[in-house]
Amino acid sequence: MLYYVFPSAWESDICGPHSPDLMVKIARESGTLAYRDEGRNKDKVRLPDYPTGTRVYVIRPDLLPEV
């Protein structure tokens, strides 16, 4: 299972008061952030409302760190 998170939701709902770059770093280090290209944090995926694709953060919820 994967979660697709739009950049606006990443900043407002996931990061909250924290820096989006810091949250990306934490997600990468924990293995939670799935990505295909080493230089990119977002992947281009096709979604029902975006048949040509859009860039989103891809999260693997099974690897979320425990808090």
The string of pLDDT tens digits covering residues 9-67 is: 999 998 989 999 999 998 988 889 988 777 789 999 999 999 999 999 999 988 876 66
Count other C-beta atoms under 10 Å from residue 58's C-beta.
19
Q: How far lies 10's CA from each of 1, 37, 44, in Å?
A: 18, 19, 15
Tell me how far apart the alpha carbons of residues 41 and 37 are, in angstroms, rounded to a whole number.
Answer: 8
Phi, psi of 16 (to 5 degrees): 55, -125
pLDDT of residue 48: 94
DSSP-H helix ranges across the chain: 7-9, 20-30
pLDDT of residue 65: 66
pLDDT of residue 38: 76
